[in-house]
Structure 1
Amino acid sequence: MIEAGLLIYRDVELINGLILEMSPGGTEHTYIGETLADSFRRLTQGIAWVREARPITLTQSEPEPDIAIVRLPHSLYRSHHPYPEDIYLLIEISHSTLKFDTSEKRNTYAAANIQDYWVVDVNNKQLIIYRSPINGLYKNETRLSLDSQVSPLAFPDLNIIVNEIFNR
């Protein structure tokens, strides 16, 4: 529908077969997303590709996560969006969408077997991490405060300091 021009000038994403309007990102959402994506670009240069607010292809869904860290080479995505097996990490920056990102999107990503899904909770200044999807549900949920550090599953040598997500 997008390629046919039916949804031109509309920010939408396909979630579980439904076309949903996307909430516009505010200034803090945008700032955190840009700085976090920039950090990941530096940290994963030559080992992964960082996409910002671009579609990924799942069964019955084509969401646009704020950040997707995907496998190289980048040329893979000339003919299709990344599939679950291409995805190392998905990140949503949640200011006004926390409930949706920690329910509908979480379940959609778990059903697609996305191994590592992070939600940046802007209002509560915490990072919520979902891992180990089993039968469409994440087995592990961890909430990290500002004084915590975390490494993406695919890149255990990379340390992300939660405080730097919010205070860079």
Structure 2
Amino acid sequence: MDQWIATPWAEYVSHSEDPTYQRAKGYYFLGSMRLEMQPVGFDHSTDHSLLSLAINLYGMVHGLPLVIADSCSYRKVGLRECQPDLSVYVGESIRQIPKATNIVDLDVYPAPNIAIEISKTTLLDDLGAKRSLYEQIGIQEYWVVDVEQSKIIAYTMNPQGSTQIQVSSILEHLSFSTLELALTQGQTQDHSQIGSWLLQEFQQLNP
């Protein structure tokens, strides 16, 4: 079911709650659902964890309050749902969602500031339909990580469209070229080594 299928909202919710799809990532947009069930490879999962490490280190170095959620579901009932690989709340928004929250209701709570998709087999969809979905949900910044090329395609978002960027506006002064270099290093170095290098890089920045 790794494709968009026209489906009523109630049927999508039924599928998403079915134990058969317990490990699937669910998306709903423009009356269609997508359940991603493909196995996650070593390269995808290590890029995922390395990017999470980098964001956490950046926040720690610069005293930036942030929370990273891993594969969290965000829902606007009857209209949209997404489950980005990583999502980041920055600043005051980190205190608005109770810890016990399951699926984040976007009619009650804010969308994350940043949504991130780690893309190996879903790159075109992540750059297309999902980007439009994230524009409508209210994400401020969207990152797509091309696993095979160790590249990051990033956008600043609004409901009228999106614009590609080279430097994050949410994590101020953070250049995506630095993160791309970290991803490239991940092909030959362990995460402790890369983390030490990132700390040095981040300490030289002055947000």
* TM-score where L is the length of structure 2: 0.65
Task: Report the equivalent of 1:31.
Answer: 46
Any conservation in 1 of the 2:150–2:183 contact (CA below 8 Å)? Answer: no
> 2: distance between equivalents of 1:5 and 1:110?
22
Identity %: 19
Task: Find out whether 1:65 has 2:84 as its counterpart.
Answer: yes
Query: Contact 2:16/2:26 (CA < 8 Å) preserved in 1?
Result: no
Larger Rg: 2
The question of whether the paired residues in 2 share the 8 Å contact of 1:121 and 1:127 is answered with yes
> What pairs up with 1:145-156 in 2 under 5 angstroms?
150=167, 152-156=168-172
Classify the secondary structure of the residue corresponding to 1:41.
Answer: helix
Q: Which runs of 5+ in 2 are unaligned?
A: 1-12, 187-207
Please list every run of 5 or more consecutive structure 1 residues that lacks an aligned counterpart in the other structure: 145-149
Distance between the aligned counterparts of 1:5 and 1:164, measured in 2?
A: 35
**Aligned equivalents of 1:75 and 1:134: distance in 2?**
23
Aligned residue pairs total 158
Q: What is the deviation of 1:66?
A: 0.8
Provide Cα deviations, 1:39-91, integer angstroms capped at 9, x if missing partner. Answer: 22232256011011121234622211111001313753523517483411111
| Distance of 1:33 and 1:62 partners within structure 2 | 21
1:108-123 matches, cutoff 5 A:
108-123=133-148
TM-score normalized by the length of structure 1: 0.78
- Say yes or no: does 1:126 pair with 2:126: no
Q: Which amino acid aligns with 1:55?
A: S
C-alpha distance 85-166 of structure 1, shift in aligned 2 (>3 A): farther
Residues 1:47 and 2:65 aligned together: yes
Distance 1:8 1:85, change over 3 A: same
- State the SS of the aligned residue for 2:39: coil
The answer for the alignment partner of 2:181 in structure 1 is 163
